[in-house]
Amino acid sequence: MSELEEQIKEKTRKRNLPSGRFISQVPFCRFWERVKVLENECWEWLGGCNNKYGYGIFWTGKRKQVAHRYLYELIKGEVPAELELDHLCRNPKCVNPDHLEAVTHQVNCQRGKGGEKTAILKQNPKRLYQLI
């Protein structure tokens, strides 16, 4: 085994914690231990969540980060400061980068449930009873 292969093996090897739980050293490996691929192609986050909005939270080893943003930035690159990620699938626990799109806050709000209701009411105010 080469020296590089040994280094990779050492970094990805699971460590026994005092609590008796195991955890891998590399954040990316730990991340995948908390993801379940669903039939609808959502990659659902099984780790801790932000109770207010339901987004997954992931500890990178240096800081807490929203799980879907962590994976999106690893795969697709950094999200510009003026943009935020919109879940096209409407599942806040989904971390699949193909289900995310970088958009402005205004666009994200318009696409969300609140924006959807507002758009429907503007088109047909009589549909209010269907939304309640």
pLDDT digits (tens, 9 = 90+) for 7-46: 655 555 555 545 455 545 578 788 888 999 999 999 999 9
How many alpha carbons lie under 13 Å from residue 90 in its C-beta half-sphere?
8
Supply the pLDDT for residue 130. Answer: 43
Supply the pLDDT for residue 61. Answer: 81
Which has more confidence, 123 or 129? 123
pLDDT at position 91 over 70: yes
Domains of the chain: 34-131 (3.90.75)
- CA angle 47/35/76 to nearest 5° reads 110
Report the predicted TM-score, pTM, of the whole model to 2 decimal places.
Answer: 0.67
**Phi (first) and psi of residue 36, to 5 degrees:** -125, 125
Which sign, positive or negative, has the C-alpha torsion 108, 111, 117, 119?
A: positive
Supply the pLDDT for residue 52. Answer: 81
User: What is the rounded average pLDDT for all residues in the chain?
Assistant: 78
pLDDT at position 84 over 60: yes
Radius of gyration of the chain (CA): 19
pLDDT at position 100 over 90: yes
How many alpha carbons lie under 13 Å from residue 95 in its C-beta half-sphere?
28
Which sign, positive or negative, has the C-alpha torsion 113, 75, 64, 105?
A: negative
Non-local (6+) Cβ contacts of 40 within 8 A are 89
pLDDT at position 60 over 50: yes
Q: Which residue has the tokens 């009589």?
A: 126
**What H or E segment, with its residue span, contains residue 3?**
helix 3-12
pLDDT at position 108 over 80: yes
